[in-house]
Structure 1
Amino acid sequence: MTAADIIAAWNKPGAAAAIHPTRGISEDAYRASGQAQAELLAADFPAGAKVLDFGCGDGRVAIPLRAMGYDVTGADASPRMLAALADRDPGLQSFQSDGSNFGKHLGRRKFDAVYCLAVLIHHDYATGQQLVENLRAVVKKGGLLALDWPTSDAPSDGHGWLGVTTWSRDRQNEMAARLKMERLDVDRPWLVWRAL
């Protein structure tokens, strides 16, 4: 899928409820899932770190992470999601981006950590690779990247909004080596990398 396809899908009425499973249970369950993920990120990120949430949506994870004392900036391709974020937490910095134009919004600013959850799975290989490269470019040397970037013994380009793209471990490792990223041995629902 292209970034335009992703934006169009997110902008459809009811899209958020269809995408995140806890939203179908209750709004409280949805918020609790964000709190739980923020706590896992906080276990790896240095206290008070400057953090970029790419694919921040309505702030499900960004808002509780910010409440823990992190300097969080949100970025999302969907204006609708960013408007929902602004309604929930007007003080949280955010900008609209499909991941291709960070320089326009950030200049030379770099982050201590970046996380990208439930985003790469929706993109084809070429777009996913470009996103990982661009996210790596905005992390300081020694900084962390928490990426929901799944591998599989039978990798597949998801080809669709609800399809899931998975990568071969070899392809992922080659890309990480080229981008100077070291995989950390942590037990998380996503991969954590250190920028070398």
Structure 2
Amino acid sequence: MSAADIIAAWDQPDARNSIHPTRGIDEDAYWASGANQAALLGTVLPDGCKVMDFGCGDGRVAIPLRKLGYDVTGVDSSPNMLAGLAERDPDMATLQSDGSDLAKHLGRRKMDAVYSLAVLIHHDYATVEALIGNLRAVVKKGGILALDWPVADEPAEGVAWLDVTTWSVERQNELAAELKMERVDANLPWSLWRAL
């Protein structure tokens, strides 16, 4: 499935209701899950650092992370999702991007950290490789990338927009080496990388 197809699916008016498994069950649980993930990120991010939430959606993680004192920029390809974020936190910096033009938008500015949760899992291998390259390009040397980039013993590429694409550890490590990233051991549900 192409990146354009996935972006179009997430930008449907009803996508906000299906963005997370807890959303349709309990709105409070949805926001609590974001606060929990923000707290986990806070265990590995430098205090108050400049951090980008790539695929921020309506701010489920970005808003509570900003409340913890981080300088968060929310990035999403969907104007619908960014509008939802602005309803809850109109002062948060946002950027509409599919990830292909991040360096152009930021210019010479670099982020201390980037995280991308529940985004890469929906894309095909080629798109993920390009996205991770673009995310790495906007992180300063020594910076952190927290990526929901799952591995599996039997990796598989998703074919529908809600399928999960999984990777082999070997291919993940090859791509990380190409992009000058090293894996950091952390007790997180996502992989953590340091920009070299």
TM-score under structure 2 normalisation?
Answer: 0.97
After TM superposition, the structure 1 = structure 2 runs for residues 1-196 of structure 1, keeping only pairs within 5 Å, are: 1-196=1-196
Say which SS state the counterpart of residue 32 (structure 2) adopts: helix
Deviation at 1:11, TM superposition (A): 1.9
Say which SS state the counterpart of residue 193 (structure 1) adopts: strand
The root-mean-square deviation of aligned C-alpha atoms, in Å, is 0.9
Deviations 1:115-141 (A, max 9, x none): 000000110000000000000010010
Deviation at 1:24, TM superposition (A): 2.0
- Percent of aligned positions that are identical: 69
Say which SS state the counterpart of residue 194 (structure 1) adopts: strand
Say which SS state the counterpart of residue 158 (structure 1) adopts: coil
Deviation at 1:103, TM superposition (A): 2.3
Q: Which amino acid aligns with 2:130?
A: Q
Say which SS state the counterpart of residue 39 (structure 1) adopts: helix
Once the two structures are overlaid, the 10-residue window that deviates more, 10-19 or 175-184, is 10-19
Query: Aligned equivalents of 1:194 and 1:12: distance in 2?
Result: 35
Deviation at 1:13, TM superposition (A): 3.1
Query: Aligned equivalents of 1:132 and 1:7: distance in 2?
Result: 17
Once the two structures are overlaid, the 10-residue window that deviates more, 14-23 or 145-154, is 14-23
Query: Aligned equivalents of 1:13 and 1:54: distance in 2?
Result: 20
Deviations 1:42-76 (A, max 9, x none): 00000000000000000000000001110000100
Query: Aligned equivalents of 2:169 and 2:35: distance in 1?
Result: 30
Specify every segment of 5 or more residues in structure 2 that has no aligned partner in the other structure, as ranges: none
Q: Which amino acid aligns with 1:51?
A: V
Question: Given that residues 52 and 113 in structure 2 are in contact (C-alpha distance below 8 angstroms), is that contact kept between their aligned partners in structure 1?
Answer: yes
Say which SS state the counterpart of residue 46 (structure 1) adopts: coil
Query: Aligned equivalents of 2:129 and 2:66: distance in 1?
Result: 28
Query: Aligned equivalents of 2:52 and 2:11: distance in 1?
Result: 22
Aligned length: 196
Specify every segment of 5 or more residues in structure 1 that has no aligned partner in the other structure, as ranges: none
Deviation at 1:2, TM superposition (A): 2.0
Deviation at 1:178, TM superposition (A): 1.2
Deviation at 1:41, TM superposition (A): 0.3
Query: Aligned equivalents of 2:162 and 2:145: distance in 1?
Result: 24
Q: Which amino acid aligns with 2:63?
A: I
Question: Given that residues 13 and 80 in structure 2 are in contact (C-alpha distance below 8 angstroms), is that contact kept between their aligned partners in structure 1?
Answer: no
Query: Aligned equivalents of 2:104 and 2:134: distance in 1?
Result: 12
TM-score under structure 1 normalisation?
Answer: 0.97
Question: Given that residues 54 and 116 in structure 2 are in contact (C-alpha distance below 8 angstroms), is that contact kept between their aligned partners in structure 1?
Answer: yes
Q: Which amino acid aligns with 1:177?
A: A
Deviation at 1:104, TM superposition (A): 2.6
Give the ranges of 4+ consecutive aligned residues of structure 1 lying more than 3 Å apart after TM superposition.
Answer: none
Deviations 1:64-94 (A, max 9, x none): 0001110000100101001111111000000
